[in-house]
Structure 1
Amino acid sequence: MKKRPVTSRQVAELAGVSQSAVSRCFSPKASIAPKTREKVLAAARELGYRPNSIARSLITRSSRTIAVVMSQLDNPFYAQMLDCAARQLQQHGYHLLLFMSRDDEQSSAIMADILQRQADGILMLAARLSSSFAQECVERGIPVALINRTVTFEGVSQVASDNHRGGYWAGEWLIARGYERIAFVAGVAQSSTSNERREGFLAALADHGHHCWAEESGDYQRTAAQAATRALFTRTPPPDAIFAANDHMAVAVIDTLRAELGLRVPEDVGVVGFDNMPVASWPSYRLTTIQQPLEEMVTHATQRLLEQIETGIVTGERKRLPVVPIVRGSTR
């Protein structure tokens, strides 16, 4: 015969406290006296009590969950952002629901799933869903925050680094190092980050009397970046420098230059990335790159999201944070 679950009323009776005290003990950030908490926890351990999060969500109308929408995990930069967001939100008593999506065609199904699971808010790290999906969230009155993404319409909180300035620095730096035929490996076509970095890069080249020697799409993917590098070197003459829209692609570019094309970095080809992932500092790459303030971006986005959830007021705010050039050995 199946044993009935222990109730909060039984815990309250054993601890000699009210049932509401038991509820407060297991509610994040609820006020409860330390001695009362100790008595409740001792009684819960003795009885084997486990709080029912589903029942609590029906009472409080809060699931204490945040939906995180991502488009890739193979890029370590996004894994870092997810880890940082998870740590910060768990400190506030929230759990994460992870949704993976590669394109806008999946947005309706993801939105339906999020609504069914009654997530309190949405944190968006997906390049391909940023505009259409975020707009649907705003229309439905769902608290949402975008990290490392920007959209043009109002009502959505978004935080990103100064991608244009970072792209400008990359172009200016490569020109200053004496490179003449400078190419660009772009990210996802509809990604605001890739487009802003590209615009800054082209502006720097134009300001110094240069033009982009060639451009290929790396789609923010390793294999696509490798193919883009091969395509660039079918040109005559080939590029002598490459700016990749993120480090994940820049590392793939360097590997392809060395292993497949037999070229030296930085003597034959200079390479600049964007993000300053941990791999960028490895001795085998020593990648010159532009550092994004990852922790600060995540902190600002999660704080804004929690404010919207707690106040019930969904408003938009735009925040752009400065980037920092990191010079290493992948440029001469």
Structure 2
Amino acid sequence: MLAGQNLYTACTIGNDTIMPRERTPRSPISSIDVARLAGVSQSAVSRSFSPGGSVSPAMREKVLAAAAVLGYRPNLIPRIMLSGRSRMIGVVVGGLDNPFYAAVLDHFAVVLRAVGLQVLLVQVPDALALDGALDQLAGYRVDAVVTALAVGTRQAATALSDLRIPIVCFNSRLTAPWISTVRSDNRAAGQAAAHLLADRGARRTAWLAGPRDSAATRARARGFLDGLAARALPAPVVIVGQDTYHDGYAAVRDLLRGHRPPEAFFCSNDMMACGAIDALRAHGLTVPGDVRVVGYDNIPQAAWHGYDLTSFDQQVDRMAEAALDLLTSALADPATAAKGRTRTVPARLVERGSTAPQAR
């Protein structure tokens, strides 16, 4: 650019041609610059960029045209300080190595943006509990929190309630004032898994459990035990892992050393189920010929031909819609926000080849 050359070009608004003043490339663009270029007051600029602001369509058009010429973007911080509302929702995630949590995050982001809310991503090392996000959440100016993580302890629930912002969790056993949860019907799904495997002729079963502090894992286990008891079947062999592919593989590999293999596995999630299938095959067993396997979450890998895994779909889209309903009602009414509420979404059984009936 030549010395003294204008950084911006003129703009035409209606019958008026507006010539911008000369600026240096490093000068920040402010609402005062927009007001000068548009020939309006600074308050008119502010109202033009405020949802529901009192300004005529002609003046707003004039302001937006001038802002486009200057490349102006309004600073949201003063508005946040005046209103106390940022329209930012903290989305707390952990364990993104599991495709299920990535799918939850994607759905949350879509539904939140659709209603004009912005996403602030907060990552915590614990893939199960929201407890580790306490310090970070206290330091951010967010209007609410949504998360696929559960509240792990009653002490954490009390501390989160003290933040006095709406919090919506997935599959949390604990609720409290300001904390609501959307749950998959884990217990009913566990019962359904037991009945499916019993119908396929399995008598000796195994429960490949996730971490003991996972509320969802415990609910699935209770349902599985109830379902087996209802069919007069013995309790399953229980193996505990960490909801990962490698733990699923290692747990089943160790079980098969010197032991007669179960006829069926119900796994805490699909990642463990995929590991279990590979361990069974490494041991010379076939799925479903020798052993049947059921997972949970219906991640994309479950449909891969190499696994063809029967699984329970948590219906993340419906859970995200339920979470959004809890969230928006809490943001609109503080009295509603202070009440912890629970929504339950049924898990949908997706049958695939890993539980196919025996060929005659």
Q: Scaled by the length of structure 2, what TM-score is found?
A: 0.83
Q: Which amino acid aligns with 2:283?
A: L
1:220 positional shift: 1.4
Taking the aligned partners of 1:191 and 1:286, their CA distance within structure 2 comes to: 26
The answer to whether the 8 A contact 2:313-2:347 is kept is yes
Within 5 Å, which residues of 2 pair with 1:73-222? 73-91=96-114, 92-102=116-126, 107=131, 110-127=133-150, 129=152, 132-151=155-174, 153=176, 155-222=178-245
What is the identity, as a one-letter code, of the residue corresponding to 2:74? P
Cross-structure match for 1:261: 283
Q: 1:239-262, CA deviations, whole angstroms, 9 ceiling, x for partnerless residues? A: 12110011121112112222x222
What is the DSSP-based 3-state SS (H/G/I as helix, E as strand, rest coil) of the residue aligned with 1:273? strand
CA–CA distance in structure 2, aligned partners of residues 27 and 65 of structure 1: 16
How does 1:309-320 map onto structure 2 within 5 Å? 309-313=331-335, 314=337, 315-320=339-344
Residues 104 and 318 of structure 1: is their aligned pair in 2 closer, same or farther, counting only changes over 3 Å?
Answer: closer
Identity rate, percent: 38
Aligned 8 A contact 1:130 1:149 in 2:
no
Name the amino acid aligned to 1:262. Answer: G
Is residue 226 from structure 1 mapped to residue 249 from structure 2 by the alignment? yes
Q: Which amino acid aligns with 1:122?
A: V
Distance 1:117 1:140, change over 3 A: closer
User: What's the offset of the Cα at 1:4?
Assistant: 3.2
Task: Summarize the Cα distance change of 1:20–1:295 in structure 2 as closer, same or farther, 3 Å threshold.
Answer: farther
The count of residues paired between Structure 1 and Structure 2 equals: 330
Contact 2:195 2:227 in 1 (8 A): yes
Indicate conservation of the 8 Å contact 2:129/2:152, yes or no.
no
Counterpart CA distance in 2 for 1:113 and 1:172 is 44
User: Could you tell me whether the CA contact under 8 Å between 1:184 and 1:212 is conserved in 2?
Assistant: no
Cα deviation for residue 128 of structure 1 reads 6.7
For the pair shown, the structure with the greater C-alpha radius of gyration is 2
Q: Does 1:326 align with 2:339?
A: no
- Structure 2 unaligned spans of 5+: 1-23
Partner of 1:301: 323
Q: Secondary structure at the match of 1:199?
A: helix
Shift of the alpha carbon at 1:98?
Answer: 2.0
Q: CA deviation at 1:25?
A: 4.6
Q: Deviations over 1:20-70 (max 9, x none)?
A: 553355456778766555433321121121221223322222222222222
SS of alignment partner, residue 89 of structure 2: strand
SS of equivalent to 2:162: helix
Q: Say which of 300, 310, 314 aligns to 1:292.
A: 314
* Residue 198 to residue 33, structure 1, CA distance change in 2 (3 Å): farther
CA distance in 2, matches of 1:178, 1:104: 34
Q: Contact 1:103–1:128 (CA<8 Å) still a contact in 2? A: no
Q: Which has the higher contact order (CA 8 A, sep 6+)?
A: 1
RMSD (CA atoms): 2.6
Counterparts in 2 of 1:30 and 1:100: CA distance versus 1, 3 Å: farther
Distance 1:300 1:139 in 2: 24
Deviation at 1:2, TM superposition (A): 7.9
Work out the CA distance in 2 between the residues paired with 1:229 and 1:293: 28
Unaligned ranges ≥5, structure 1: none
After TM superposition, the structure 1 stretch with the greater mean CA deviation from structure 2, 238-247 or 28-37, is 28-37
Distance 1:43 1:266 in 2: 67
With the length of structure 1 as denominator, give the TM-score of the two structures: 0.89
Match for 1:170: what amino acid?
Answer: A
